[in-house]
Amino acid sequence: MRIRNLAVGLFLPAIAALALAIPAHALQGPPRGEGDYDSFVALFSQFEAWADETPGSDPRVPDYSDDVVGDRIDDLSDFQAQLSDMNVAAWERAHQAEYLAVRARMDEAEFWLRVSRPFERDPGYYVDRMLRPAFTELPVEGESLETLQARLNAIPVLVEVGERNLDAVAADYADLALHNLTTADGVGHGHPYREVPPAGVIGWYEDLLGRAQTAQPGLVPEIEAALSSVREFHAWLLERRPAMTADAGVGEA
């Protein structure tokens, strides 16, 4: 089952967390609540569905505004409370390991929402989401065409959401996002091979536009609108960069 596969990757980090990061009162042993193993599996399925949701009102673009984040934290707290009410102490060891893995997943989600908060600290969170549509090989048709159009039309919304939410930007993250918008990188983003790569995210959209003008002219207006939004985001970052002075680290606390 998926939980067991998850346990393989997260069991040791969870044990390390038990030893190093959890308050003394939490080291009294596994929970002795009311929930059985079947309830635990059902809870994990609910949590996975929640984690896969796109937050906010637009299913194309994740929106982590303050109200949305508050609602997500409330939802997560409810999942964590239900997890703490499982009778883990009565389960076989393999199922206890699965419990640790799921708790680690929930702890990770809480850390992401409460502490690392890339949606307000890291422009790269938005830049990475801009890039992939520009890799599309043209022409496309049918469902692939619909998918590409939806992704292109989401870029202006993504820029709007980013500019609204990025209010605690770390200096290092801002510089890296500006670099990736204008400079060929090719590391870790699934770039197609090019002997001379386009210059950053903006360059890839210019490349897509050039290919569309001959291979699929009907897409040109949507690509131009997406490219305009990406350029606007770059200009927005450049203008505000002097005020983006937060630390990239989250701090000892």
pLDDT digits (tens, 9 = 90+) for 141-162: 999 999 999 999 999 999 999 9
Side-chain-side CA neighbours of 40 within 13 Å: the count stands at 28
Q: What predicted TM-score, i.e. pTM, was given to this entire model?
A: 0.83
Report the candidate in 35, 54, 62 with the shortest Cα–Cα distance to residue 162: 62
Report the candidate in 37, 167, 49, 48 with the shortest Cα–Cα distance to residue 95: 37
* pLDDT at residue 194 is higher than 90: no
Dihedrals phi, psi of 86, to nearest 5 degrees: -85, 150
Report the candidate in 181, 190, 188, 152 with the shortest Cα–Cα distance to residue 60: 152
Give Cα separations from 208 to 4, 148, 198, 222 (angstroms).
Answer: 42, 12, 10, 11
Residue 185: band (very low, low, confident or very high) from pLDDT cuts 50, 70, 90: low
Q: How many percent of the chain have pLDDT more than 70?
A: 88
24-37 average pLDDT score? 81
**Whole-number Å distance between alpha carbons of 222 and 76:** 37
Contact 210, 192 (CB under 8 A): no
* pLDDT at residue 195 is higher than 90: no
Contact 201, 127 (CB under 8 A): yes
Please, what is the average pLDDT of the chain? 90
Per-residue confidence (pLDDT) for residue 50, from 0 to 100 = 97
**Whole-number Å distance between alpha carbons of 110 and 55:** 15
Per-residue confidence (pLDDT) for residue 15, from 0 to 100 = 47
